[in-house]
Amino acid sequence: MRLLTSTFALLLSLVVVNAASLHDNANIAARHAHLSKRVTSLEMRASNSTSRRCKKNRNTNKASTPAANNLVGDKATSSAPPPAKTSAAPAKNNNNNGGTSKPVNAAGLINVQSNCGSSRATKEVTKFSGPNGHIDWLNCGFETDGGWQPPFVRVQDIITQPLSTALQNPSSPFKACARFIWMFEKYGGEYGIPAIMLASFAMQESSCNPETVGGGGEQGLMQITREKCGGAPGGNCRDPEFNIRTATRFFSDTLKNNGGNVLLSAGAYNGWHRGLTRWKAFAAANSACCRCQNNGDYLHQFFNGWCQNINAYDHRLRLGKYFNLDVCG
């Protein structure tokens, strides 16, 4: 009985020990499985993370290829000259910083049709010709019984130099007008007349001397007649700005009345009129007012001399062929 009790106790001990051993092995396996699962999870996350980064890199590379091409294209575009404009504005020549604008005349010669034949214009100014035509063309009909019949020429047809450019030439005759240039530009712009044309009137009429008084009482820079002196500041008709403004307005009105014919209008400034003959023009040569003659060389001196920045009175290249005022001393 005692032996059976001992045997039963031994068997019971073995069962307990074995059960404990199995429990410990199960915990170890469970822990290993859990660790393995964590490692696998980490590896997967790492793998997925790497995979996502690689995909991102691949996507970036794929996307960056066009982007890089665009960048190169942009750089290439930015370094290349801009495309030519297909609708450029027509070239214009700003006449003398004051006055009308006109298309650039590539030939530099007047180009109008008239009943007086060819203008016989020359690029070089000579005694009898220049960019605005030969003296006989400008004076068309002057030596005939029918008298002067000027070709129809508009302001924009006339070849001129910009006044500001003309002054850059050290030998420019307009140096004498330097104090009044802004006035010529101001009123030329206001009335649509080239500034150099206004300054040319001043040079032709008074050598740009504001104190000049003509033989017939003409006043100032522009030699305006006394009936135009109303409203002069302090009654001084020779005041430069008043003188230039009044003369410019008068010339502008004359242009309008003559349908825009600038030859007819510039001639009128010196007393010329349609139908004027040489004999009538020079009739005053033997009178008490010798200088009341019409200067036969006026148009050539004006358009081919002063308007070309050339001193029309320069003895080295004296422009004209009549010089009818020489007899007046």
- Predicted local confidence at residue 82, as pLDDT: 38
- Predicted local confidence at residue 316, as pLDDT: 83
For residue 315, name the pLDDT band (cuts at 50, 70, 90): confident
The angle that helices 240-257 and 195-206 make with each other, rounded to 10 degrees, is: 110
Let me know: does 125 contact 305? Beta carbons within 8 Å.
yes
Instruction: Answer yes or no: is pLDDT of 104 > 70.
Output: no
Average pLDDT over residues 234-239: 96
| Whole-number average pLDDT of the chain | 77
Average pLDDT over residues 294-317: 94
Average pLDDT over residues 236-245: 98
- Predicted local confidence at residue 29, as pLDDT: 37
Tokens of 88: 């450029």
- Predicted local confidence at residue 105, as pLDDT: 52
- Cα-flanking dihedrals φ and ψ of residue 149, to 5°? -130, 80
114: closest CA among 213, 261, 285? 261
Instruction: Answer yes or no: is pLDDT of 108 > 70.
Output: yes
Least confident of 7-21, 165-179, 196-210, 248-262: 7-21
Task: Specify the 3-state DSSP secondary structure of 224.
Answer: strand
Which pLDDT tens digit goes with each residue over 24-60?
Answer: 444 433 333 333 333 333 333 333 333 333 333 333 3
Measured CA angle at 167 (ends 161, 168), to 5 deg? 100
User: Strand 93-94 relative to strand 101-102: parallel, antiparallel, unpaired?
Assistant: antiparallel
For residue 195, name the pLDDT band (cuts at 50, 70, 90): very high
Distance from C-alpha of 268 to C-alpha of 288, rounded to nearest angstrom:
22
- Predicted local confidence at residue 209, as pLDDT: 97
- Cα-flanking dihedrals φ and ψ of residue 137, to 5°? -75, -45
- Predicted local confidence at residue 317, as pLDDT: 83
227/99: higher pLDDT: 227
- Predicted local confidence at residue 298, as pLDDT: 97
Measured CA angle at 296 (ends 140, 142), to 5 deg? 25
DSSP sequence for 47-103: HHHHHHHHHHHHHHHHHHHHHHHHHHHHHHHHHSPPPPPSSPPPP-EEGGGSS-EE-
What is the signed CA dihedral for 29, 30, 31, 34, rounded to 10 degrees? Answer: 120
Which pLDDT tens digit goes with each residue over 153-191?
Answer: 999 999 999 999 999 999 999 999 999 999 999 999 999
Distance from C-alpha of 280 to C-alpha of 322, rounded to nearest angstrom:
14
- Predicted local confidence at residue 215, as pLDDT: 77
For residue 110, name the pLDDT band (cuts at 50, 70, 90): very high
